[in-house]
Structure 1
Amino acid sequence: MTDPATLADQLRTGERRLHELDDADAETAAEARRQFLAAETGADLDAIGDFTFDAGQATDANVENFVGSAQVPMGVAGPVAIDGGAADGEYFLPMATTEGALVASVNRGLSAIDDAGGATARVTDSGMTRAPVFRVAGVAEAETVVEWVDDHAEQLREAAESTTSHGELLAVEPYVVGDNVYLRFAYDTKDAMGMNMATIATREAADLVEAETPAELVAISGNLCNDKKPAAINAVEGRGRTVTADVTLSRELVEETLNTTPEAMVEGNTRKNLVGSAKAGSLGFNAHAANTVAAMFLATGQDEAQVVEGANAITTMDAREDGLYASISLASLEVGTVGGGTKLATQSAGLELLGLAGGGDPAGSNADALAEVIAVGALAGELSLIAAFCSRHLASAHEDLGR
């Protein structure tokens, strides 16, 4: 086996390039890249060479030009009781973050929720989308394509599902813009986040559309899916899991735990999260849902870029006779408990902490439960942050914990 120093010399002389070390053992190749980069840049890279996951697995499934790991501190919030459609019981929430005060803030919100008897959560819709764009001569051909798609739903389903043993095609929604035809495919991907599954299945269905209609495929993703970008279609139609969590806190609990009143919370939420967001043209009407989504995504191996869609959430609050009603609805939370980053050791441990590692029984139940738990965590974060600025404690909390 070639040693790391020899491989690093080959990189320096140009005999090999960074990606041409993959014939070597993954850890050896990573060490060679670190030695080369340290010499080239003067950086001390010893820390990134300290990792516990399997290097070969990571290079096979998760990363290219592997050099090591980026470690993010992980904390835990909870426990909190959840009455969900899939999540049922008490949960500790793993959160990986570099933002001081975040875990403490979510933990405070979870404490209030738990003292109220727990939160309720439900996944109300589910479907991973992929929307290829086709070229046609004009609107007449577009109509022909749309009519064919409407008349041959079963053939499209058979073609798409021939590529997967788990995914199910739920619907195909056509959109016409001039000489462009977009077909938005939606799939039930069970416990997988399902982006790769949806792409492969859609490619098979797109081949059928090309063979049977005048349409010519331009791109397997025409951005009407819409993946990893702020998009109104995901806010309205949803993508991945659409999930809502809510809780009612007594007046005493709001006053004693959150140091404010239901009326002040409602006003703060309305003026900041609703009116302020509307004026800003925001697609998310919430205080900081992305904070909890991102921290739990990193802790459980989700695709971190899809925090963009995860922030597509609306927080509501209402003062009632029995106290404060609060909810958060996340329109497009894309999560899975199998595949991708969920196989890495530390992320798998995060899922195990939740009792949600691997496939659920029935299929899809673990991913549904994960979505519900994240929603409750986001709700806790909303309660805590809104209470902080209503009681004017936000700055002092960051001074104490943000460091």
Structure 2
Amino acid sequence: MTDAEDLAERVRDGDLRIHELEEHADYDTAAHARRLLVERETGTELEAIGDYAFPAEQADPNIENMIGAAQVPMGVVGPVPVNGGATDDEHYLPLATTEGALLASVNRGLGVIRTAGGADARVTKNGMTRAPVFRVAGVAEAAETVEWVEDNFEALREAAESTTSHGELLDIEPYVVGDSVFLRFAYDTKDAMGMNMATIATGEACELVERETPASLVALSGNLCSDKKPAAINAVEGRGRSVTADVLVPGELVEDRLHTTADAIAEANTRKNLIGSAKAGSLGFNAHAANVVGAAFLATGQDEAQVVEAANTITTMDARERDDGTTDLYASVSLASLEVGTVGGGTKLPTQAEALEVLGLRGGGDPPGSNADALAEIIAVGALAGELSLLAALASRHLASAHEDLGR
């Protein structure tokens, strides 16, 4: 009997728990044992799941009870032409997805953007947030707590930043609801996405708040952050990086390459992305920005649950008439809460690290934060390309035929 078989039997017999296997064997043997256990319990074959290409120990910070790896097809689009604040270059953008036609659509939009001279992109705001909630006796104690926080920002900053060599506390915004006090801390986390950094730093600051005010901490996250769920505060105030990309596409290029007109695309955007989204009560006013963001997140090791916040995107399309009577198309996307990093988390895994290498953005930037800013700008231009292509397909009534031609 192999070590893996022995471990699997011991779990089945109740001698070991499934999360304890790394204490009795190397990481790959432990993963093998779990696969054997699951195979025998469920009658399945886990050959593909077990065929991963990196040492299981390397994934220890990222997963518990590992049995293997999920293999999502990865493609590449581009080059993505970005005239940005953090990057002024062309980059191939790796995208991992199971949705056929997505990369073909994005690539079509990128071809138009490239011919138009590239897209401008800028990170307009940066701040990873964490918002603890405190209990107070009533509004008088709430006001006392808020006043102390506002008067002692420097002391709170010193406490928070004592936990990190990179993060900087930017702001603390208080909110009072009855006998609950929320403090929305915002940090510059440089090239890290920074959720863990913000959580640890905020925990240290909360100890100071409890010592100096009547407030008692109830939860380190009070959902006003707001992490991994649809929230208007992220759409309005931003979270992570707020980034905008835009391009002016000549009218003749719209007709030649997208087989429609600037007026038709602008109308489709207004009626679909603006009016339709408003009627639906949507927080995102776009066609499918999360499609590109999600595929980029999977490829580059971002936290895939935060795609929900990246869907806080507003797409605008405007027909602009030139002096000669030609109508050009102005197109933009504004992503209010794009949470990305090039260090930490899943960016360290081999596949995702290689994808960041393709972008030229693996690891920390010089100056700190510049790599994550560049990644945000590139993803924004990719999302812009996806919006441009899909809206053109809708305006020209080619959406269904495009999927049929690609066999999807």
Identity score, percent:
75
Query: Counterparts of 1:211-290 in structure 2 under 5 Å?
Result: 211-290=211-290
Counterpart of 2:368 (choices 363, 371, 386) is 363
1:400 CA displacement: 2.4
Output one character per residue of 1:9-65: Cα deviation in whole Å (capped at 9) or x when no partner. Answer: 111111112101021211000000000100000111010011112310202x10000
Output one character per residue of 1:211-235: Cα deviation in whole Å (capped at 9) or x when no partner. Answer: 0000000000000000000000000
The CA distance in 1 between the partners of 2:4 and 2:401, in whole Å, is 50
Whether the 8 Å CA contact 2:80–2:378 is kept in 1: the answer is: no
Whether the 8 Å CA contact 1:26–1:56 is kept in 2: the answer is: yes
The CA distance in 2 between the partners of 1:384 and 1:349, in whole Å, is 28
The CA distance in 2 between the partners of 1:45 and 1:17, in whole Å, is 21
Matched, 1:107 2:86: no
The CA distance in 2 between the partners of 1:294 and 1:402, in whole Å, is 22
The CA distance in 1 between the partners of 2:330 and 2:43, in whole Å, is 55
Output one character per residue of 1:63-88: Cα deviation in whole Å (capped at 9) or x when no partner. Answer: 00000000000010111221000021
User: In the alignment, which residue of structure 1 is the partner of 2:78?
Assistant: 78
Matched, 1:334 2:344: no
Matched, 1:174 2:174: yes
Output one character per residue of 1:222-249: Cα deviation in whole Å (capped at 9) or x when no partner. Answer: 0000000000000000000000000000
Number of corresponding residues = 402
Query: Counterparts of 1:278-317 in structure 2 under 5 Å?
Result: 278-317=278-317
In structure 2, the gaps of 5 or more residues are 323-327
The CA distance in 1 between the partners of 2:75 and 2:398, in whole Å, is 22
The 1:2/1:134 distance shift into structure 2, 3 A limit, reads farther
For residue 341 of structure 1, what is the amino acid of its counterpart? G
User: In the alignment, which residue of structure 2 is the partner of 1:401?
Assistant: 406
1:2 CA displacement: 7.1
Query: Counterparts of 1:30-45 in structure 2 under 5 Å?
Result: 30-45=31-46
User: In the alignment, which residue of structure 1 is the partner of 2:325?
Assistant: none
1:321 CA displacement: 2.2
Whether the 8 Å CA contact 1:273–1:287 is kept in 2: the answer is: yes
Q: CA RMSD in A?
A: 1.0
Q: TM-score, normalised by structure 2?
A: 0.97
Matched, 1:134 2:134: yes
Query: After TM superposition, where is structure 1 displaced by more than 6 Å over at least 4 residues in a row?
Result: none
Whether the 8 Å CA contact 1:185–1:202 is kept in 2: the answer is: yes
Whether the 8 Å CA contact 2:364–2:371 is kept in 1: the answer is: yes
Whether the 8 Å CA contact 1:99–1:402 is kept in 2: the answer is: no
User: In the alignment, which residue of structure 2 is the partner of 1:196?
Assistant: 196
1:402 CA displacement: 5.1
